[in-house]
A and B are shown apart, each in its own frame.
Chain A
C-alpha cells in the first residue's frame, strides 16, 4: 500500500538578485547607527592605530568617534569657517584639517587647541595630508596651488602651481615620502615629487576629479570624477587601465576594502557600489537615504561609515558571528540525549517476536483534509496558512491540486460572504504574479461562474469584484505596453544585426549573390575537363 503523497509545493526560482559570496559578505552588517551632524559630512577618516577611532568632518567641526560609541569621544571646534579633510597621521597622534578660511590647522588628538597653524593659502583648503615620513604636510587649495609644509617649523617648503582649477583631492604615497598625487577640477591628475619642482606625471580624467585612491601596492591609482571611476597604471606611465561608469550622478568618494579585493565608490545618486578589483564588475550595491559625500571603511571591514549631504552619519557594524549563534541557541532547547536513545539500544533476543512500528507520515493540515477528500476545508486551511505566513505558493499549490482532481468547483462553491471575500482578497493579491496567473485565472473564472447569481447582494463582494476588474484592466494595459516595447525592440534588433545567410543544402554553395560569380568561374574548369 502506497502512502499518501502530499501536495507538492513547487519551488519557484528566486527572482531578482542572485546570492553570491559578495552579497553574503556585504549584507552581513547590522542595522545602521545614524547620527545627526551639524552639516553635510564632507570627510571621514579612520585612525590607523587601534582602537580605530574615526574623524568626521562636518561643517565647522571635527568629531572623533570611537568604534562603538554613538557620542563623539572628542570634538575640535576651533574653526572659523567650514572645516575640510580632517586626517590622522600614520601614528594616530596628530590630526590635520583644512578650512574655508585658508588656514590649515594641526591638532594633537588628545588636545583641543591647534598645535600649529599653517597660513599661506589664499583660498579654502580642501585637501590636507601627512607625508609618509610624518614630518610634512601636503595641502591643496582652491587657489590652484598645492604646498608642502614642515610641521616642526610650520613653514612652507614648496609650492606647486600647475593645476588650473580648484584642487579638491590628493593623497600622499605611503611608501615614498616625497611622492604625492593631486586631482583638480581642471580634469587632471598630477603626480608630484618633492625633490623636483615640477609635476612628474599628468593624466587627464576627462571630468572634474573628486576623489583619489592609491592601491596599497601603489602601482595603480584610482580616480573618481563625474560619473566615471578610472584606474590608472602608474608603472606604465599613467596609462588608463579601465573606466567604470556605473553611477548616474557624480561620484564623490572612493574606498578600498581591507583585503584590497574590493573597490567601493559612493556617489550623489545615493548608492555605494562595490567592484571586484579583478574584473571591475559591480558585485554589490548599497542604497542610502541621501546623496553621499564621504565614505570610509574600518580596518577588516568591521564597519562602513557613510556621510551624507543631509548631515547624517550612518555607521554600519559587521555582525558578530558568535553573537548571532548564541541567540538562536538560547531559543531552542534540545531534548536530552536520553530521549533519543531510549529503547534504541535494546538488542532483541532470539525468541523475541519483533513488532515493527510503522513510521507515521507527517502531513500538513491541508494534506490531511485532501486525503479525506474534504476539499473545501483543505482550501480554507491553505488560504489561512498562506495569508498568515505570506506564502501564497501553498494556497496556489492546493488550488492546482484541487483543479487536477477536478474538484476545484466543489471547493469554491457554497461559501458565505466572509469566506468569499477572503478568497477574492487572495486572488487580488496574487493573480498578477506571473507564476500563479494561469491557475488563479481558472479559479477566478470559476468563482464568477458560481456566484454570478448573487452579484449585487453584498456590497463588500461587489466592491472587491470591481477592484479585481480594475486590476485586470491595468494588467492588460501593462501587457499591451510591454508588447509594444517588445515590437519596437524587435525592429531595432532586426535592423541593427547583420543578416546572416544560412547555406541552403549546397544548392548554390555560398550565398545567393555569389551564384553568378561561381557560374562564371566554373566555365574554365569545365573546359579543362
Chain B
C-alpha cells in the first residue's frame, strides 16, 4: 500500500466576486468583496488583490464596514459566524459565533455595536456584539426584528439616520420604525403582476424610499409616516427588472441598474435629467457607493466589478473568472502565457492566469455588439483549440436561431508577436451543416503547417490546412479545407492527433477510425465491445503505440496500433480521460456514487500509478494538465506524475481546484487513504478480448481453446488475483491462426464486416481446422480434456457472473469487471442448456 501523503486537492480560485455587493472603504482606496470562503481586498486604483481575508469555512455572504471604525470590516458567512477584520493589514480581530447560517448583514448608524443579520429562518435579527477581549466570542444576544424577509440582500434598507427600516418581499413593502416599533404595511396593487419589488434603497437625508420593480419601474415613496396617505412617483427607463437602486451619500443622485447593463443616474427631485453609462458589459447585479461619494461600483453577472468615478466614467475593472452557464469549450492551456483558456462572457474567450488567479484578457471572438435582452439567442463560443506552439487559435461560434437554423462560424486566429495578441486570420462561415462536436489541432511541435480537424454532427469531419495565397491580392496565407472524411454516414465524435501528428483518430459511434494525416487515407478501424466512444486519445512518448478510449458502456479500452488489436480493457465509468502533454501519463476521472475518483496510469498497462477516491463530490466537468513553472524533484512513485505538470479540474460548482504535490504539507484529513486495489479491479477474466457471452462464443470456445493452449500454454496460466490481467493472448501475431479470425469476426460490429458470402467459407473452414491437417491425430484426447477444463472454468465464470448482481444489490462496489453485456438469468440458463447439448455429431459430419 502506497501512502499518498503529499498529493492533495487545493482550491485555487475562480470564485464569484459578484455574489454580494462590494464595499468601498472610507478613503476610497480599497474595495472589499466576498469571494467564496474569503473576503478579497482590492485596490481601487491598480485593480490588484491586496489581501485575502481567510478564516471562514463556508461561503461568505456579506461584508460590512464597521460604522464605528472605518478601518475594520465585518463579514458574515453561511458557517454561522461574523468576523471582524482589519482589512488594511489583513488581520482577523474577532470571531462572533451566531450559530445559524447568515445570509446578509446590515448596520444602522443609530445602533452602536449592533448588526442586523438575516438568518436561516428568513428573519431579520439584531445581534448585539459583546465587547470582550476574547478572540472568539459566542453571541448570546439575538432579538428578532422582522420575520419573513427576502433572502435577497438588496431587499432590506435602513432609512434616514437609522430611524426606520424598509423591507420588500414579493408585492409587499414593510417599513419598521425603531422609535415606535410600528409597522406600516403597504400592499401594492396586484393587478399588474409584474410589479414585484426587487430592491429597495432609502434616501440618507430625506424620508423617501426608492424601490425597484420587475417591470423596470422605480417608485419613490414619500409620506409613509401616516397610514393610507403615502404617495409615490414613478420613474421609468429600464425595460426589464431593476436589480439595484442606490442613493449617493448626499442624496443628490439616485443610481439604478438592471439587465440592460446601463448605469442610470437620476437627479433627485429633477428626475427628468438622467445620465447614462451604457455598455458596461453584462447585467448589473449590485450597486455600491463609497462613503464619500467619489466612487461607485457595479457588480455584473459576468463576475466583474466595475469602479466608476462620480463623473460617470469607468476608472477600473476587476474581473474574475467568467463562468457562463457551462464551459462549452474545453479547458486549455495557452502554451505561451500558460494561461487557462475557456469561454467567458458571451462571445468571448478568456485567458485566465492560474498562478495569479486573475483574468489576463478577454478575446472578442464574435466581434458583435452584445444586445442585453433576455430571451435573445446570442452567439456562443462553443469550441476552441490551440496548436502546440500557441501561434494559432481556432474558435467555433454558434447561434441557434430556430430549431433548424444553426449559424456556425469557424475562426482562425494567428498570434501576432508585435501586438502580443491574437488576430483574426480566416473566417469560415458555415464550416459544417450541423453542430461541431470536436476540434483539434495537430499537436506535433515540429510540423511547420499545422492541421486543424473539426468533426460535426452532419456525419463528416474536415481537415483544414494553412494554404499559401493562390493569387496576389490576398494579404497572407489563409486556411482552407483540405479533406472531408466520412465513415458509413455515422456521426463522428471525438477526434485526436497522435503526438507526432502522423495519425488522426476519429471516433464514429462505436468504431474508432485511424487515418493517415499525410494522405488522408483510412488506415484501419478499431472496433470494440459495444458502446459509443466517449473519449479518445493517443498515448504519448513511450506509450505512443497505444490509442485509449472510453465508451458509454463504462469501459476503458486500450488498443495497440501496431497489431491493431485491443491491448487491454477495464470496466470503469470514465467521465474524462486526459493525457498529460509533458509525460506519458493519463488521468481518468470516474464518476461513482455521487463523487468522482481520480486515477492516473500509464497507457501501457491497466495499473494505476496513483488513484484517489472521492476527489470531489459531484462529477468533474472539465480538467486540464497545466505545466509547472519549475520541475519538481520528487522521487516518490505516487507523486512523480505531478513533477512536470499540475492537474486542474473544474467541479460542478464551478470552482477551480487543482491537485498539487508539495512534499511536506500535511494531507487534509478528509482525503481518505487510498487503496489501489479497489480502483482498478483486475479482471481475472479469461475470455480473451472480452468477447461477449453469446451462444456463438460458447459453441466456438471448444474449438478455440485447444489451439490457443497449444501455442501459449505458458502464458495461459491464470493470472494471480491482484496482478494485471494479461489480456493480449499473443494470438494476434499468429495471424495464421484461425482462432483470432473468428474472435474478431464475432467482435466486430456487423456494419464493418464484409458481406456474409465472403465470410462464410472462411468461417466454416476455421471450424474445420482441428479436424484437418496432419498433427491433429495426436491432439483429440488432449483437446477433450482441455475443453472440459475450460468448460469448468467457464462454468465458474458463469457462476460469478450470476452472483454479481446480488453483490451489487448489497451495495458493494462491484460491477466493474463486467466484461461483456450482462445476460439475464433466463438467457444464461438457455446458454447452459445449449452447451450441454452434445455437438459431437456436428464435428462428425464435418470430418471428411
Q: List 22 A-B contacts (CB under 8 A).
A: A1-B280, A1-B314, A2-B281, A10-B429, A20-B471, A404-B379, A405-B371, A405-B376, A502-B522, A504-B524, A504-B754, A505-B524, A505-B526, A505-B744, A505-B748, A505-B752, A507-B745, A508-B754, A519-B741, A519-B766, A526-B775, A527-B775
Q: Which of B141-149, B619-627, B730-738 contacts its partner?
A: B730-738
Query: Quick one: CB contact mask for B237-279 with A, threshold 8 Å, 1 for yes?
Result: 0000000000000000000000000000000000000000111
Alpha-carbon gap, A24 to B765, bound state (A): 70
Q: A508-B754, A515-B759, A522-B738 are in contact. List 14 more A-B contacts (CB 8 A).
A: A7-B369, A8-B367, A404-B368, A406-B373, A406-B376, A438-B405, A504-B748, A505-B752, A507-B744, A512-B754, A515-B761, A523-B773, A526-B737, A529-B734
Alpha-carbon gap, A4 to B371, bound state (A): 11
Do B774 and A519 touch across chains, with their CB atoms under 8 A apart? Answer: no
Residues of A within 8 A of B350 (CB): none
Do A526 and B736 touch across chains, with their CB atoms under 8 A apart? Answer: yes
8 Å CB contact of B472 from A20, A371, A403, A504: A20
Closest to B430 in A: A438
Do A508 and B741 touch across chains, with their CB atoms under 8 A apart? Answer: yes
Residues of A within 8 A of B754 (CB): 504, 508, 512
Query: Quick one: CB contact mask for A204-216 with B, threshold 8 Å, 1 for yes?
Result: 0000000000000
Query: Quick one: CB contact mask for A498-529 with B, threshold 8 Å, 1 for yes?
Result: 00001111111100110110010111011101
Residues of A within 8 A of B564 (CB): 505-506
The verdict on B769 contacting chain A, using a C-beta distance below 8 Å, is yes
Closest to A520 in B: B765
**Knowing A2-B279, A507-B745 touch, does A21 contact B472 (C-beta < 8 A)?**
yes
Residues of B within 8 A of A403 (CB): 401
8 Å CB contact of A512 from B755, B773, B774: B755
Q: In this complex, which of A4, A506, A509, A525 has the most chain B Cβ atoms within 10 angstroms of its Cβ? A: A506
The smallest beta-carbon distance between A72 and chain B, in angstroms, is 39
Q: In this complex, which of A20, A512, A516 has the most chain B Cβ atoms within 10 angstroms of its Cβ? A: A512
Residues of B within 8 A of A401 (CB): 368
The smallest beta-carbon distance between A102 and chain B, in angstroms, is 53
The verdict on A19 contacting chain B, using a C-beta distance below 8 Å, is yes
The smallest beta-carbon distance between A396 and chain B, in angstroms, is 12
Alpha-carbon gap, A404 to B765, bound state (A): 65
The smallest beta-carbon distance between A510 and chain B, in angstroms, is 10
The verdict on A110 contacting chain B, using a C-beta distance below 8 Å, is no
Q: In this complex, which of B314, B471, B772 has the most chain A Cβ atoms within 10 angstroms of its Cβ? A: B471
The verdict on B753 contacting chain A, using a C-beta distance below 8 Å, is yes
Query: Quick one: CB contact mask for A183-219 with B, threshold 8 Å, 1 for yes?
Result: 0000000000000000000000000000000000000
The smallest beta-carbon distance between A300 and chain B, in angstroms, is 22
> Footprint of B on A, CB under 8 Å?
1-8, 10, 18-21, 24, 370-371, 401, 403-406, 438, 502-509, 512-513, 515-516, 519, 521-523, 525-527, 529
The verdict on B696 contacting chain A, using a C-beta distance below 8 Å, is no
Residues of B within 8 A of A10 (CB): 427, 429
**Knowing A512-B758, A523-B772 touch, does A404 contact B472 (C-beta < 8 A)?**
no
Residues of B within 8 A of A438 (CB): 405
Residues of B within 8 A of A20 (CB): 471-472
Closest to B409 in A: A10
Residues of A within 8 A of B471 (CB): 18-20
Query: Quick one: CB contact mask for B764-786 with A, threshold 8 Å, 1 for yes?
Result: 01100100111100000000000
Do B376 and A3 touch across chains, with their CB atoms under 8 A apart? Answer: no
Do B279 and A507 touch across chains, with their CB atoms under 8 A apart? Answer: no
Alpha-carbon gap, A352 to B401, bound state (A): 54
Closest to B347 in A: A5
Query: Quick one: CB contact mask for B289-326 with A, threshold 8 Å, 1 for yes?
Result: 00000000000000000000000011000000000000
8 Å CB contact of B737 from A507, A516, A522: A522
Closest to A502 in B: B522
Closest A-B pairs by Cβ, 6 of them: A512-B754, A522-B736, A512-B758, A525-B736, A515-B762, A18-B471
Residues of A within 8 A of B762 (CB): 508, 515-516, 519
Q: In this complex, which of A5, A6, A18, A404 has the most chain B Cβ atoms within 10 angstroms of its Cβ? A: A404
B residues contacting the other copy or chain, number (CB 8 A): 58
8 Å CB contact of A504 from B367, B375, B734, B753: B753
The verdict on B565 contacting chain A, using a C-beta distance below 8 Å, is yes
Do A505 and B758 touch across chains, with their CB atoms under 8 A apart? Answer: no
The smallest beta-carbon distance between B426 and chain A, in angstroms, is 11
The verdict on B399 contacting chain A, using a C-beta distance below 8 Å, is yes
Residues of B within 8 A of A406 (CB): 371, 373, 375-376
Alpha-carbon gap, A522 to B769, bound state (A): 10
Closest to B745 in A: A507
Residues of B within 8 A of A370 (CB): 369
Alpha-carbon gap, A506 to B565, bound state (A): 8
Closest to A516 in B: B761
Alpha-carbon gap, A419 to B769, bound state (A): 85
Residues of A within 8 A of B753 (CB): 504, 507
Closest to A24 in B: B472
Do A4 and B526 touch across chains, with their CB atoms under 8 A apart? Answer: no
**Knowing A516-B761, A519-B738 touch, does A5 contact B369 (C-beta < 8 A)?**
yes
**Knowing A504-B525, A507-B744, A512-B755 touch, does A526 contact B773 (C-beta < 8 A)?**
yes
Closest to A3 in B: B279
The verdict on B470 contacting chain A, using a C-beta distance below 8 Å, is yes
8 Å CB contact of B399 from A404, A512, A516, A522: A404
The smallest beta-carbon distance between B413 and chain A, in angstroms, is 16
The smallest beta-carbon distance between B730 and chain A, in angstroms, is 12
Residues of B within 8 A of A502 (CB): 522, 525
The smallest beta-carbon distance between B425 and chain A, in angstroms, is 13
Do A507 and B741 touch across chains, with their CB atoms under 8 A apart? Answer: yes
Do A526 and B769 touch across chains, with their CB atoms under 8 A apart? Answer: yes
Residues 400-449 (chain B) with a chain A CB within 8 angstroms:
401, 405, 427, 429
Do B279 and A4 touch across chains, with their CB atoms under 8 A apart? Answer: yes
Residues of A within 8 A of B368 (CB): 5, 7-8, 401, 404
Alpha-carbon gap, A508 to B762, bound state (A): 9
Residues of A within 8 A of B755 (CB): 512
The verdict on B531 contacting chain A, using a C-beta distance below 8 Å, is no
Residues of B within 8 A of A4 (CB): 279, 369
Q: In this complex, which of B278, B280, B762, B775 has the most chain A Cβ atoms within 10 angstroms of its Cβ? A: B762
**Knowing A2-B281, A19-B471, A522-B738 touch, does A527 contact B525 (C-beta < 8 A)?**
no
Closest to A18 in B: B471
Closest to A6 in B: B369
Do A1 and B473 touch across chains, with their CB atoms under 8 A apart? Answer: no
Residues of A within 8 A of B748 (CB): 504-505, 507
The verdict on B395 contacting chain A, using a C-beta distance below 8 Å, is no
Residues of A within 8 A of B277 (CB): 1
The smallest beta-carbon distance between A522 and chain B, in angstroms, is 4
Closest to A505 in B: B525
